[in-house]
Amino acid sequence: MISQNIKVAVDAVVFGYVERQLQLLLIKQKYGSEKNKWALPGGFVLDHEDLDTAVTRELKEETGITLAYLEQLYTFGAVKRDNRQRVVSIAYLGLINPKKFKLTASTDALEVGWFAIDALPPLAFDHQEIVAKGLERLQNKISYKPIGFELLNTEFPFSNIENLYQTILNKPIDRRNFRKKLMSFGILEETDKISKPESGRPAKLFRFNTKKYKALEQKGFHFEIKFA
């Protein structure tokens, strides 16, 4: 007879973007062997829950936020990844505009906050590995899915999407070709509004037309931007 004593958990790699900086949402552990260490939001899946319900609940309980964009990322099951017992974690990738939500730490979280992706504190368990996998997925996926718009305001100057891509990819892009390609899809709408930055020239604002994109996708449209 096979005997198992394995717990199932969920962890969320949630990225935000503010002022040309990619950020990661972290909580400080309140209990256990990793107390006072920073970690990804997450926890054990309850007996009556499916995975999506569990990660949504944990995010709400520990950080106070609910995500519109959340997808399964990868499964982490190294035997000694958790020093308490055998735990298999299903990680999720989430995207959010930090300006639209107020963070609230509760349940197992002592604190909650945003950290620049290039200045993270030491993380609990194997969460550094999970974060690396999440960043890799994000960097790959923005070339074939318009998920970057989840990180921006509803209306934005075109330079914001250019800066977003350069920040996530951590390299410069050909702005002229990028704009030409993105505008050729017909999924960006130019509004009649003008941004008035504290410095620099005013610029027209654009918005991403989600409805049009989904309609095009159903007809076989493939979003793709290649970067040299």
Secondary structure of 62-94 in HEC code, one letter for each residue:
HHCCCCCEEEEEEEECCCCCCCCCCEEEEEEEE
Residue 124 shares a structural domain with residue 171: no
Whether the Cβ atoms of residue 93 and residue 137 lie closer than 8 Å to each other: yes
Question: What is the reported pLDDT for 162?
Answer: 96
Residue 94 shares a structural domain with residue 13: yes
pLDDT tens, position by position, 10-68: 999 999 999 899 999 999 999 888 899 999 999 999 999 999 999 999 999 999 999 99
Question: How many domains are contained in the chain?
Answer: 2
Residue 182 shares a structural domain with residue 156: yes
In a domain, 207, yes or no: yes
Residue 23 shares a structural domain with residue 73: yes
Q: How confident is the prediction for the chain on average, in pLDDT?
A: 94
Listed residues 141, 170, 202: the one ending a domain? 141
Known catalytic membership, residue 189? no
Residue tagged active-site, from 19, 71, 111, 190: 111
Residue 20 shares a structural domain with residue 123: yes
Report the candidate in 4, 3, 2, 11 with the shortest Cα–Cα distance to residue 81: 11
Q: Of all helices (H) and strands (E), which one includes residue 59? A: helix 51-63
Global pTM reads 0.94
The residue segments making up the domain with residue 50 are 7-141
More confident residue, 76 or 84: 76
